[in-house]
Amino acid sequence: MCNIRNYAVNTVPEHTFALILALRRSILAYADAVRRGRWQEAGQFCFFDYPIRDLAGSTLGIIGDGVLGQAVADIARGFGMRVLFSAYKGSTGMGPLYTPFEDVLRQSDVITLHSPLMPSTRNMIAAPEFALMERRPLLINTARGGLVDEAALADALTAGQISGAAFDVVTAEPPAADHPFMRLLDRPDFILTPHVAWASSEAVQGLTDQLFENIELFRAGNPRNLVA
């Protein structure tokens, strides 16, 4: 049995920060503007059509305190970000290492999701939660589709309640043509990638090696990772 999670420890956090940086510095928007001839139109050495913000000194709210959330926190600290780990929604008394869920929503400049999808986490961010986001954060989801009410996300982005969003996961994959995200694809503040945060060449090779090793162990009469 191949364990994707083992190989996601590096690849998912890197993808998460690729999305954060792309939005925080409007990289895709500027690249598209250059393709459209905007630089020549500006007639000077640079132009400032889209916001550019540093990560240093900003606050990252992490929802999900497992190995992936912890790895994302390590990268964030390297950028000089303040890191808040969210307490579970609706929970109290989790200790000083956790910030209440609602406070994370209010204080964060970037919010990133690394939670499993369970009944208690389904649509944990919806219209009421977007209304609490005082700092108009970026919202990043490389965890599971269904953690965010996707129609509410589209409404929040359109209304300016958040500054941008980047998702690698959707409730139904691939999304249907009428999915709320599909009408956001031309926006400079929205990125959708096709569930590839885990899929670096190194991770895929590691999974392939593990698969062949499992087969060889089974043929040798020494099976591994048995499921009862």
Give the SS3 label for residue 141: strand
Spatial distance between the Cα atoms of 218 and 135, rounded to a whole number of angstroms: 54
Spatial distance between the Cα atoms of 26 and 34, rounded to a whole number of angstroms: 12
Which listed residue (35, 41, 173, 219) is catalytic?
173
Helical ranges in 25-171 per DSSP H: 27-35, 38-42, 67-78, 101-107, 127-130, 150-159
Tokens at 77, concatenated: 């600290």
Determine whether 38 is an active site residue: no
Determine whether 173 is an active site residue: yes
Determine whether 102 is an active site residue: no
- CA count, 13 A, side-chain hemisphere, 124: 29
Strands 82-85 and 59-63: parallel
Cα angle 55, 121, 107; round to 5:
30
Whether residue 51 contacts residue 143, with contact meaning beta carbons closer than 8 Å, is answered with no
Which listed residue (135, 144, 150, 213) is catalytic?
144
Catalytic residues: 144, 173, 195
